Structure 1
Amino acid sequence: MSIDPIAVLSSEEIEALSHHVIAEAQAGRKEAAWHKLQPLRKVQLRQPEAAMALLGIVYERCLQREVAIDILSEVAQSHDQDFRVLSAVGRCLEAASDIDDLNAPPPGDPVFHSVVEKLEGLAKVYEGRPQQEPILEGLATAARMLARQRDAIAESSHRKLTEINPKKSACHYNLGLFYKTRGRFSEGVTSNQIAASLADEVVESYEWNLGICATGAGNTAVALDVWKRMGQAIEIGRFGLPEGRYAQCKVKLAERPLAERTSELDDPGAEETIWIERLSPCHGIIRSVLYQNLGINYGDVVLIDGAPITHHAYGEVQVPVFPHLATLLRRNYQVFDFAGTQDTARQLADISADLDEDAVVYSHSESFRMLCANCWRDPDVNHDQHEGVRKHVVTGRIAAPPGIAPARLLDLIDKAIAKRERCQLYAPDLCAAAGLTARQRIDRRRFALLTGN
């Protein structure tokens, strides 16, 4: 970026430019905001005041994430020995991250790592001096943004801030926030309780994080007290946790949630967005049978964070999609693939109403396919001519609690099928588990024809 060697902006001009940029961004004109901040970019190298104005714009989330990272990189490189500017860059890295996508992998842009390294060095230089506090604030935030890569630095910085300012509620809250996202829920309860006790008034974010941490820690009394203080109609329910009546919502499950992974394997792995039966503001039962193997499945109980990642539209209804914070209980349901045919939509899925003990026939796809009627009747025969027949094919999975015997589950499904006209279900692995070898062979052939495997 070329810089006019004589360009200088007055404090009034810097303030006015910053105000105009923020106004444009808040009006939804981020491209215009980007153009208006160019004079600040041109002088930020020689004018720290302009650099701080740029950081204020980033902090207010006025720019697209990629653009914000570019600005932070420029400012960090230009002021790599200025503790005040670098500390502000560290704090702004949160605004350049998608913090709602809790389980995202560590950001790949070098500025995150370089700022942590520079601030870590400055924290040692200024240890015990007034400058240490803002440095630690920037360092704690920057390290926390790196997923599990710099946890020791993030925790140490947050803890030192509580020692420097033991009566400052925000310091304890931020430490509790760190503990929550790392799955250290009991410690999160303690930090959030201290934060709440030091606040002059009830702070909603403190309450939310205390309730989530208490639920994650299995501290039902504290969780119930929090939710009731927030006006929730809720009592002790299933799994010994608070339970109320809530609309179903969706969760973006992760094979490795941030709270359950390590720095060596610091990515979410496979992810899948599913439905849960929401039992409280922050936990629920998985009510989708998953496509993928994430190590959790239908019937398991998951903890969710309070801020949705996004919303999915279903007609006029906006359904929130929350991040998967941790898995509270794995109930180890049995899962069996199935394929079948039906005469009308959802005919097989509706079988679930006739099953016991939370068993479910869960449809993943419904489509029409042309099959050979002769092969359908006897797939082992080599037919010279194929007779086409159109089938409404359904594929999916059956899930059932571990206590229900496969033979009984199959019997319940057979009885439900018998009550319905012109539908069939083939689950070869379920037949095998039930010890029905001959039926398993037949179901395997039909399953292969329907799925093309």
Structure 2
Amino acid sequence: MSNGPSAILSSDEIGAIARDAVAEGQAGHTLAASQRIEPLRKAQRRQAEAAMALLWIVDRRSLAREEAAGILAEIADAHDDDLAILSRLGLCLEAVRDIDDLNAPPPEHPIFQTMVARLDRLARRYEGRPEHEQILRGLATAARMTARQNDAIAEASLRRLIEIDPQRSAHHYNLGLFYKTRGRFAEGVAANRAAADLSQEVVDSTEWNLGICATGALDAETALGVWKRMGQKIEHGRFGLPEGGYPACKVRLAARPLAERTADGDDPGEEETVWIERLSPCHGIVRSVLYGDLGVDYGDVILMDGAPITHHAYGDEEIPVFPHLATLLRQNYQFFDFAGTQETTRQLAGISAELDGDAVVYSHSESVKIMCANCWRNPDIDHADHETMEKHVVIGRIAAPPDLTPAQLLDMIDKAIEARGSCQLYAPDLCAAAGQSARERIDRRRFALLTDN
């Protein structure tokens, strides 16, 4: 940005620049939008109207987020005593975060904490005065955008807004949104009900948040009522919750979703994107066996938010990827690593259809491996020559419900393997759990050869 002298812009000039910049941004031309606003950036220190125009442009998401955050910092620096600008700036912080990526860590840009601190001081100073409400609105948004770092400030601001204007539906909605993302689902139900009761019409976002909070609170009747009002074909189902026929979708699981963490551990930890069997608009069963230990895995029932983070393309089909909001039920499945060989693609994974009790053989990778045939047969012999052979190797994990004994699981897998005749599976930990120590030693050796461990 140029720091040279700026001309005074007329209201018409400011409006025209702002409209052009928003048009460019809405068309996806953020660089062009950035170039358009240079006169406003130069003028905003001397003209509050130019600063407000920039805030409108940012709020319309017409600029790249990092640049938008920098512009907000410039405005905050230039107008540190303008209540209207600072309050509006607090609201604009929502536009410089990817709010659909619900479990993101706290933002790194200092403008977020700067505005929380500044608006918090102003809110205390203007308590009980007409300006208090607009300051609180900006403060509540700014605090909510910092993940779990300023929850007490966010909640206090949202509650105070309701005290100031208890008949305003939006205040109750915003409190319900806060409770939803913090895992306080029963309180979210109450807040969203209040928002709905005060609204003159049915608002989709309120209905969605009410349905999600009710599901999270295991309030099946309320959730079912919401989904039926929205025209969903859904009834009471498994786990005491509503269930309908929905296509599979994906969820980005987090070891620490926003709703389940604190200010001291305020990051998502390890994340994996997995398939789920979708039971309702906002919950489902994990149907991928995870690579890592996230504290949630195959068979667990999870709650997801309603806005997708992104979409994954599978041919012409776009599959939504939703954020993990909370884990509703951990099924405590058993897991066993395996390595195996097969002659055709997904031959081992295909035996899952022959296993009882929701057990699954889940492939994480399939590849071709060149190895020594003599080492494969007996690694304890010192081979002078290595006879090479090619193996089609599969590596993955087996999952089984807790009421299925390891011996039963191993027997089912053996029968399925025997029926195929052209593939093998080695799961040493499963053999050990089934009490087959001799087989465990053989499986562990071949597992190590196939996985290079």
Name the TM-score, length of structure 2 as normaliser.
Answer: 0.99
Q: Where do residues 192-207 of structure 1 align in structure 2 (5 Å cutoff)? A: 192-207=192-207
Q: Deviations over 1:394-416 (max 9, x none)?
A: 00000000010000100000000
Structure 2 match to 1:129: 129
Structure 2 match to 1:56: 56
- Offset at 1:421? 2.5
Structure 2 match to 1:348: 348
- Offset at 1:364? 0.2
Structure 1 match to 2:74: 74
The 3-state SS of whatever aligns with 1:416 is helix
Q: Deviations over 1:119-155 (max 9, x none)?
A: 0010011111110111000000000000000000000
Structure 2 match to 1:410: 410
Residue 152 (structure 1) aligned with residue 156 (structure 2) = no
| Amino acid in structure 2 at the alignment position of 1:254 | A
Instruction: Work out the percentage of aligned pairs sharing the same amino acid.
Output: 68
The 3-state SS of whatever aligns with 1:190 is helix
- Offset at 1:379? 1.7
Mind listing any 5+ residue stretches in structure 1 that lack a counterpart? none
The 3-state SS of whatever aligns with 2:90 is helix
The 3-state SS of whatever aligns with 2:303 is strand
Q: Deviations over 1:156-191 (max 9, x none)?
A: 001111111111101100000000000000000000
Structure 1 match to 2:259: 259
Mapped partners of 1:446, 1:14: distance in 2: 72
The 3-state SS of whatever aligns with 1:90 is helix
Indicate if the aligned counterparts of 1:311 and 1:321 stay in contact, CA closer than 8 A. Answer: yes
Structure 1 match to 2:270: 270
Mapped partners of 1:380, 1:251: distance in 2: 46
Structure 2 match to 1:358: 358
The 3-state SS of whatever aligns with 2:420 is coil
Structure 2 match to 1:446: 446
Structure 1 runs (4+) greater than 6 angstroms displaced = none
| Amino acid in structure 2 at the alignment position of 1:374 | N
Mapped partners of 1:266, 1:174: distance in 2: 21
Indicate if the aligned counterparts of 2:116 and 2:143 stay in contact, CA closer than 8 A. Answer: yes
Structure 1 match to 2:246: 246
Mapped partners of 1:233, 1:401: distance in 2: 29
Indicate if the aligned counterparts of 1:336 and 1:427 stay in contact, CA closer than 8 A. Answer: yes
Structure 1 match to 2:321: 321
Structure 2 match to 1:119: 119
The 3-state SS of whatever aligns with 2:279 is strand
Mapped partners of 1:3, 1:28: distance in 2: 27
Mapped partners of 2:218, 2:86: distance in 1: 40
| Amino acid in structure 2 at the alignment position of 1:220 | A
Q: Deviations over 1:54-81 (max 9, x none)?
A: 0000000000111110110100111111
Structure 1 match to 2:182: 182
Aligned length, in residue pairs: 453
Indicate if the aligned counterparts of 2:283 and 2:303 stay in contact, CA closer than 8 A. Answer: yes
The 3-state SS of whatever aligns with 1:302 is strand
Residue 161 (structure 1) aligned with residue 161 (structure 2) = yes
Mapped partners of 1:397, 1:4: distance in 2: 63
Mapped partners of 1:2, 1:408: distance in 2: 73
Q: Deviations over 1:283-312 (max 9, x none)?
A: 000000000000111000000000000000
Indicate if the aligned counterparts of 1:3 and 1:43 stay in contact, CA closer than 8 A. Answer: no
Indicate if the aligned counterparts of 2:6 and 2:42 stay in contact, CA closer than 8 A. Answer: no
Mapped partners of 1:124, 1:337: distance in 2: 57
Mapped partners of 2:302, 2:271: distance in 1: 14
Change (3 A) 1:286 1:6: closer
Mind listing any 5+ residue stretches in structure 2 that lack a counterpart? none
| Amino acid in structure 1 at the alignment position of 2:317 | V
Indicate if the aligned counterparts of 1:102 and 1:323 stay in contact, CA closer than 8 A. Answer: yes
Indicate if the aligned counterparts of 2:252 and 2:273 stay in contact, CA closer than 8 A. Answer: yes
Mapped partners of 2:173, 2:261: distance in 1: 23
| Amino acid in structure 2 at the alignment position of 1:403 | D
Structure 2 match to 1:282: 282
Indicate if the aligned counterparts of 2:277 and 2:284 stay in contact, CA closer than 8 A. Answer: yes
- Offset at 1:5? 4.5
Indicate if the aligned counterparts of 1:140 and 1:158 stay in contact, CA closer than 8 A. Answer: yes
Structure 2 match to 1:102: 102
Structure 2 match to 1:423: 423
Change (3 A) 1:163 1:341: same
Residue 138 (structure 1) aligned with residue 116 (structure 2) = no
Mapped partners of 1:165, 1:53: distance in 2: 28
The 3-state SS of whatever aligns with 1:158 is helix
Mapped partners of 1:245, 1:381: distance in 2: 57
Mapped partners of 2:298, 2:29: distance in 1: 43
Change (3 A) 1:276 1:220: same
The 3-state SS of whatever aligns with 1:352 is helix
Give the superposed CA RMSD. Answer: 0.8
Structure 2 match to 1:210: 210
Mapped partners of 1:328, 1:28: distance in 2: 39
Q: Where do residues 283-298 of structure 1 align in structure 2 (5 Å cutoff)? A: 283-298=283-298
Q: Deviations over 1:357-384 (max 9, x none)?
A: 0000000000001111111111221211
